Amino acid sequence: MALDLSFSDNYWSDLERYLVGPNFDKQLIKNGFDFMEEAHKGQLRYSGKPYISHPVWIAKVIAQLNIGQEAVLAALLHDCVEDTSIKIDDISKQFGDEVALLVSGLTEVKTKTKGLQINQTNIDVFRKFFFSSVNDVRVLIIL
């Protein structure tokens, strides 16, 4: 008889497969997953999939790049501040200042670039903006 897993169980199981090695505290990342899942409860993507499919996909990519659990947590939490009632202070209290700084950087870049169309004539300006406004290169990687 097959297990009846909820969507969140499937998404967590899928992410967990990529959390290999001593660089990842699986319980801490699971706490981040649960926090993100609760924050996005009931939200759907345009495709009709649960919203959490997006941050989990980003987190899997970041885990494979092996740039640290803080970056994986930021990938999971990056839309919480933009799309829910979660504040950056909530993330800082739960997951530390480094994760909050990464999430804040992602939020700032997304806010400043919303609606911006990139074409060949402004790509250099756009590139300079990214590198001058981001304090941690991991923000650019997570983007």
Where in the sequence is the domain holding 30, given as residue range(s)?
7-142
Task: Work out the mean pLDDT of the chain and round it to a whole number.
Answer: 82
Q: Report the Cα–Cα distance between both ends of the chain, in Å, rounded.
A: 40
Give the residue, 92 or 121, on which the prediction is more confident.
92
Number of domains in the chain: 1
Q: Taking a C-beta distance cutoff of 8 angstroms, is the pair 83, 40 a contact?
A: yes
List of residues 6+ apart from 23 with CB closer than 8 A: 66, 68, 69
pTM here?
A: 0.78
Strand partners, 50: 44
CATH code, 22: 1.10.3210.10
Judged by average pLDDT, the poorest of 38-47, 109-118, 123-132 is 123-132
How many H helices and E strands in the chain?
Answer: 9, 0
Copy the structure tokens of residue 67.
């740039």
Question: Residue 25 and residue 124: Cα distance in Å, rounded?
Answer: 39
Assigned domain for 61 exists: yes
- pLDDT tens column, 88-105: 999 999 999 999 998 988
